[in-house]
Structure 1
């Protein structure tokens, strides 16, 4: 008998055509820290969100102490003694630390809230995690690390016997991490159970009693931390296909023009001393795990945020970028990760979405030169092989992959020379993904377009890039020629 305190049997979860989890069975025993590892997109957070009631499985069953349970909302999981400390801070900024910790768990006297008892309970839970945080201050005044600790205290306040930690140390300093370790060890000694997700392999080996590995939404094996090495963990996460991608790597000529030079770029709390160069016609892949700082660097280069130190040069001159409009005027564009929220205009047509930043080109004396605009849109639709009905159809009529091509076309119409693409193929099908990769490589060869390609998928980075920059915890860990890199070597650099 396994005597699991909590167990999933044959759990699957789909999001439309995307299979996030497939037939996963996993359990945790009382007094155990069970680590869960895998690459980005392996299904770890999806599984944990099912465990805490945020998501429901498409197939499979959950069991608590051997009895079948169904969680339709997080409150159902809490009533069964299961709580999560999510990866992203999820607190009410204007409420105090104490109020956030006891939110929804206020102590009462009769029908009224007993505020004195509630505050005392909040302080007791907070002190099990950290005794230096003032429980009276609004959480908005705290550092991100302290907010993370408050979130852990809030999970503890539910009196859960099974806690889920999703990248809990990503924002923590060494001191706060030590406090978390002490709390976890005390929780385990008291008979509590914890699922623990982290990309920091050293802490996985130090903390866990068992390690389970997910890859592409499937359970692929279990490791004993007393015998496993970091190389074993990386190998199992990456799988057997650890070589370079299918596209032949290209070598930039020695005299290739440097179009973008970043020197010692720093933004406190996000990244530090980031330096690299991008050459004309090159695709520079950027790889790294959760919290590595990839997106933060991209937004800073584009002018969405300001750096605290460092320099950015475009075409051999100081960029002078103070806002995105400055970057766009100089031919540098950022394509955000959240395509639906930040990339497309859902109420507008395909043509309008593509031509929007370029309308000045088609403005006549009395009206728009629509014929010229539609001809230019149609040319790019043909060049990028975008599958559409009519340019006047709404962009929401297109698949995700074709929407992404429209966004690329938007900035090619603007004669952009540098594209920073953040997870450009996330959420689209494999065929569309390969087509976008192929089109990008063709564009760099035919037009001299230069691309910074940010992706969590190592195989994709290897397939499309000429060189690969690896980041970890806000720092550059290395830049590798794509022809010499493997999935395994990139993972090792990203976790060093």
Structure 2
């Protein structure tokens, strides 16, 4: 729990408006943040959250409205002026220099000593103080590239504190973290607020929001629809969902197994150096199988082997009884194996292309495609079926929210005709409504006979979607169990080895 927030507003956004062409992203939004408060900013994909955050951070200039910090008008500031005013932003991707040390990364952006020379003693002193404020035990001289993603996140928090920031914006800070690492980060967020910093917390993980935030502002269709006091008794995740979506959302369930599905893919004793050790796996038609583990447990490496991204050093993979000997993802796609990668923007899409062109990428890679402009009706069908917003296939995919980008990746993958689907973190960073739509789509695909593997570090994801769950730890399979026998606690204990310690 953060320290008791100040009653007076630290940051105020008043009647902020922002349009992109004919699209009104913000329609007179008011937002208030107090010192020492963790304030969640919630809403479905495309609601305007990212636009508001960018306005506060100085990355976008609003068309109208005012920003006040400590009661003083900020005016139309840019990123540099926002930093100078004490506004820091942590995006989903870390903004660190891997080859520099922890101390050097914490000191980034600050002036050097006299004459432009670096005061190494002061740098280490300030770095140690920032780490201590978060309860971190990291070596100041260690290159951050050698740290885990969780520790890199912690270094970013320490840097923000060392800059004496007044406002810290966290955009999906746990998106790349496992459950254990996420809990550590949440504790560090609370410590940051306890230092008097106002924290804006943007996340689709509502359990995290309820644990760490004091208040929540819910945005929908460019407008604030509700401000909620989360410390009030009785506020639950379903209340947040109802405010975000405007209706109750039914939880998608995997389709009932018809039984006797033919083996679509079989991996036997697959080994990849030290990352994967003699892993065997079977996928059947109509079945959704979860590949679950903590970050770095080996499930992502296995996904790349199954989809032709990585060649195993030992073992074999067969599709429909025939060996899968491919050197490229295109070769795997020709055999009907398709991958939805975790990093959708870098690996799953071409940002410079529009939605229609991206949907046709896989088909064109197989030599069956024509120019997307001639296939707009098909692209429009996918846009409508998946609820992609805005509903215009000629919009650049880079202009879409994360959840809508994920839907485009799904459309591209399914349009390729793949019948064995490997999905890495398929609903990471998407809102509740989009999450249920994607889960329903996966269920329909399995119901139509596709074999699906879900790669995830989130227990809720595999529990909600999968018929069977394979748990990996340190590159090996440690358990395989039907969904009916799995719980969040069981999966977490298996993935971390906690069950062996009891």
Q: Normalising TM by the smaller chain, what interval? A: 0.5 to 0.7
Pair 1:279-2:285 in alignment: yes
Contact preservation (8 Å) 1:467, 1:479 = no
* Equivalent residues in 2 for 1:87-486, closer than 5 Å: 87-171=92-176, 180-181=185-186, 183-226=188-231, 227=233, 228-240=235-247, 242=249, 257=262, 259-260=264-265, 277=283, 279=285, 299=304, 301-305=306-310, 313-317=318-322, 319-320=324-325, 323-334=328-339, 337-338=344-345, 342-343=349-350, 357=365, 377=370, 381=374, 385=378, 400-401=393-394, 423-425=406-408, 454=426, 456=430, 457-458=434-435, 460-461=437-438, 464-465=441-442, 466=444, 473-475=457-459, 476-479=462-465
Residues 254 and 190 of structure 1: CA distance in aligned 2, closer, same or farther (over 3 Å): closer
The C-alpha deviation readout for 1:360-409, integer Å capped at 9, x for no partner, is: xxxxxxxxxxxxx9xx848994696579xxxxxxxxxxx745999xxxxx
TM-score normalised by structure 2 residue count: 0.64
Give the Å deviation of 1:229. 1.6
Contact preservation (8 Å) 1:471, 1:478 = no
Give the Å deviation of 1:196. 2.0
Q: Any idea what SS the aligned residue of 2:39 has?
A: strand
Q: Which residue number in structure 1 is paired with residue 470 of structure 2?
A: none
Residues 138 and 425 of structure 1: CA distance in aligned 2, closer, same or farther (over 3 Å): same
Cα distance in 1 between the residues matched to 2:145 and 2:49? 29
TM-score normalised by structure 1 residue count: 0.64
RMSD between aligned residues? 5.2
Contact preservation (8 Å) 1:130, 1:179 = no
Q: Any idea what SS the aligned residue of 2:224 has?
A: strand
Residues 108 and 301 of structure 1: CA distance in aligned 2, closer, same or farther (over 3 Å): same
Residues 162 and 37 of structure 1: CA distance in aligned 2, closer, same or farther (over 3 Å): same
Residues 224 and 232 of structure 1: CA distance in aligned 2, closer, same or farther (over 3 Å): same
Cα distance in 1 between the residues matched to 2:166 and 2:89? 11
The C-alpha deviation readout for 1:290-322, integer Å capped at 9, x for no partner, is: x99999886553232578999865224564556
Give the Å deviation of 1:152. 0.9
| Greater mean alpha carbon deviation, residues 158-167 or residues 376-385 | 376-385
Cα distance in 2 between the residues matched to 1:183 and 1:383? 48
Bigger Rg, which one: 1
Q: Any idea what SS the aligned residue of 1:55 has?
A: coil
Give the Å deviation of 1:91. 0.7
Cα distance in 1 between the residues matched to 2:58 and 2:194? 26
Q: Which residue number in structure 2 is paired with residue 69 of structure 1?
A: 74
Q: Which residue number in structure 1 is paired with residue 37 of structure 2?
A: 32
Cα distance in 2 between the residues matched to 1:149 and 1:261? 40
Give the Å deviation of 1:209. 1.8
Q: Any idea what SS the aligned residue of 1:105 has?
A: coil
Cα distance in 1 between the residues matched to 2:158 and 2:62? 28
Residues 354 and 180 of structure 1: CA distance in aligned 2, closer, same or farther (over 3 Å): closer
Equivalent residues, number: 415
Give the Å deviation of 1:140. 1.1
The C-alpha deviation readout for 1:213-253, integer Å capped at 9, x for no partner, is: 234443221222232122322333332163599xxx99897
Give the Å deviation of 1:92. 1.0
Q: Any idea what SS the aligned residue of 1:211 has?
A: strand
Give the Å deviation of 1:5. 0.7
Contact preservation (8 Å) 2:19, 2:26 = yes
Residues 181 and 451 of structure 1: CA distance in aligned 2, closer, same or farther (over 3 Å): closer
Q: Which residue number in structure 2 is paired with residue 8 of structure 1?
A: 13
Cα distance in 2 between the residues matched to 1:218 and 1:471? 35
Q: Which residue number in structure 1 is paired with residue 479 of structure 2?
A: none
Q: Any idea what SS the aligned residue of 1:90 has?
A: coil
Contact preservation (8 Å) 1:126, 1:153 = yes
Structure 1: gaps spanning 5 or more residues: 360-372, 388-398, 405-420, 427-432, 482-492
Contact preservation (8 Å) 2:352, 2:396 = no
